[in-house]
Amino acid sequence: MSIVDTPERRQLRELTRAFVTREVLPHLADWERAGEVPRELHATAAKIGLLGIGFPESVGGSGGDLLDSILVTEEIIRSGGSSGLIAALFTHGIALPHMVAAAGGQSGGLLRGRLGGGQLRGDDDLIDRYVRPTLAGTMIGALAITEPDGGSDVAAIRTTARRDGDHYVVNGSKTYITSGVRADFVTTAVCTDFPGSGELSLLVIDKGTPGFTVGRRLEKLGWHCSDTAELSFVDVRVPVTNRIGEENTGFLAIMQHFAAERLSLATQAYATAQRCVELATRWCRDRATFGRPLASRQLIRHRLAEMHTRAEAARAYVHEVAARVAAGEPVVTEVAMAKNVAVAACDQVVDQALQLHGGFGYLRDAEVERHYRDARILGIGGGTTEIMNEIIAKGMGL
Ligand SMILES: Cc1cc2nc3c(=O)[nH]c(=O)nc-3n(C[C@H](O)[C@H](O)[C@H](O)COP(=O)(O)OP(=O)(O)OC[C@H]3O[C@@H](n4cnc5c(N)ncnc54)[C@H](O)[C@@H]3O)c2cc1C
């Protein structure tokens, strides 16, 4: 029995599948063309409890742990959704956890197995103003770490926040920010010392604050239904009360919550691979060449068998690492390995799945074409494959 296969989780899987079938599949192609998902989708997902999965009920979430979040992510893709849809609809999965943790709760089961919620402290205000409305689907948040000068080297962040009375004055820019076009607020990594010092803090910055401008909508290879933006900050005055946790604790907070993001991306990778195996298998059964179905040929059957094996091996390893994270084990190296294993499996499987579809695989009408494009970001976002290798090498004592 899989670790995510309990009676409650089977129900959650069914709920997710019904949501995707009813609310997503009829519209996904339109959202891909529009470059974003509608705000109402957030409210719909919140109403049935999907948006709040992995967040404690004490902050407006639906409860559940990291494994529940993984299950929802997996099922959205396996039901015909996409990693782009997850990026757009679940951006709060990266925008909110720092606020929840600073207020004494934990999200995603990252540091605890089950979510207890804990006692809320001084950051309660941020919970009421941002976390609850976002989990209710009435607000959209984004997380802004990456800057035009570089994303991998988080300590080198150059966006500054200078203290001026009970405000910070923020100057700098961010890029490639998921949901940045639609976001009502942005959890923003700023340098609270001299630029490049690595002394980081997290500030929640409201859209509409004077000096904060959302630049152009960035056009991308994949994730078309997920809006991506450049952000600019010129003398933006942000109340000190919008700081998450203590000053200069941002770097640690970012690193801690990267683990959940990386496991989510790893899940998106193996689930995309699984979906592509299903699509390719169906296609090879139906498609006949030289008088018989493709699937009747040993070469094709073996190729599908190898794709299936890769996807399943990746799924098993990601689940094992996720279970260890949920149990509170410090498995930073294993999380990096899980992301790389799943991304490598996904890259290979989507490529083969498209090839098996022949010319149709190259058309916009083919679901496999979308997965092929969407998959390419998974080895870049949330820390690149090379940065994961750096973490793994460090874990090996190199
Ligand atoms: C669609 C999309 C959505 C995104 N969403 C967000 C978001 O919501 N919020 C956010 O903050 N960021 C977001 N990002 C940014 C993403 O996290 C970064 O692109 C990523 O971390 C890499 O940073 P970079 O692009 O600056 O590449 P760089 O850091 O410039 O790296 C370039 C290349 O060099 C390699 N490299 C870098 N350093 C080393 C090294 N020491 N050794 C070996 N190789 C190295 C990298 O692996 C990469 O291949 C998004 C990006 C995209 C494309």
Catalytic residues: 261
* pLDDT of amino acid 117: 35
pLDDT band at 132 (very low <50, low <70, confident <90, very high): very high
Dihedral over alpha carbons 17, 21, 24, 28 (to 10 degrees): 120
Q: Among 143, 219, 340, 380, which is best to mutate for testing ligand 1, by the most ligand atoms less than 8 A from CB? A: 380
Give the C-alpha distances (Å, rounded to integers) separating 292 from 287, 288, 295.
8, 5, 8
- Does the beta carbon of 228 lie inside 6 Å of ligand 1? yes
- Does the beta carbon of 145 lie inside 6 Å of ligand 1? yes
Give the three-class secondary structure for 306: helix
- Can you tell me the distance from the alpha carbon of 80 to that of 176, in angstroms, rounded to the nearest whole number? 25
- Can you tell me the distance from the alpha carbon of 220 to that of 373, in angstroms, rounded to the nearest whole number? 9
- CA–chain centroid gap for 367, Å, is 20
Output the average pLDDT for the chain: 94
CA-nearest of 92, 81, 252, 256 to 178 is 92
pLDDT band at 123 (very low <50, low <70, confident <90, very high): confident
What is the distance in A from the centroid of ligand 1 to the CA of 63? Answer: 31
**Which ligand 1 atom is nearest residue 218's CA?**
1
- Report whether pLDDT(131) > 80: yes
- Does the beta carbon of 97 lie inside 6 Å of ligand 1? no
What is the distance in A from the centroid of ligand 1 to the CA of 9? Answer: 34
* pLDDT of amino acid 107: 62
Over range 291-310, report the average pLDDT. 98
pLDDT tens-place string over residues 324-378: 999 999 999 999 999 999 999 999 999 999 999 999 999 999 999 999 999 999 9
**Which ligand 1 atom is nearest residue 222's CA?**
1
- CA–chain centroid gap for 309, Å, is 25
* pLDDT of amino acid 110: 32
What is the distance in A from the centroid of ligand 1 to the CA of 102? Answer: 26
- Does the beta carbon of 146 lie inside 6 Å of ligand 1? yes
- Does the beta carbon of 386 lie inside 6 Å of ligand 1? yes
**Which ligand 1 atom is nearest residue 180's CA?**
8
pLDDT tens-place string over residues 167-201: 999 999 999 999 999 999 999 999 998 877 889 99
Nearest residue by C-alpha to atom 31 in ligand 1: 152
- Can you tell me the distance from the alpha carbon of 95 to that of 288, in angstroms, rounded to the nearest whole number? 48
- Does the beta carbon of 151 lie inside 6 Å of ligand 1? yes
- Report whether pLDDT(8) > 90: yes
Which of 37-46, 108-117, 262-271, 381-390 shows the lowest mean pLDDT across its residues? Answer: 108-117
What is the distance in A from the centroid of ligand 1 to the CA of 383? Answer: 6
- Report whether pLDDT(120) > 80: no
pLDDT tens-place string over residues 236-295: 999 999 999 999 999 999 999 999 999 999 999 999 999 999 999 999 999 999 999 999
- Does the beta carbon of 377 lie inside 6 Å of ligand 1? yes
What is the distance in A from the centroid of ligand 1 to the CA of 379? Answer: 9
* pLDDT of amino acid 4: 63
- Does the beta carbon of 159 lie inside 6 Å of ligand 1? no
- Can you tell me the distance from the alpha carbon of 128 to that of 118, in angstroms, rounded to the nearest whole number? 16
Tokens representing 137 are: 């689907």
What is the share, in percent, of the chain residues with pLDDT greater than 90? 91
Q: Among 86, 152, 261, which is best to mutate for testing ligand 1, by the most ligand atoms less than 8 A from CB? A: 152
- Can you tell me the distance from the alpha carbon of 373 to that of 376, in angstroms, rounded to the nearest whole number? 6
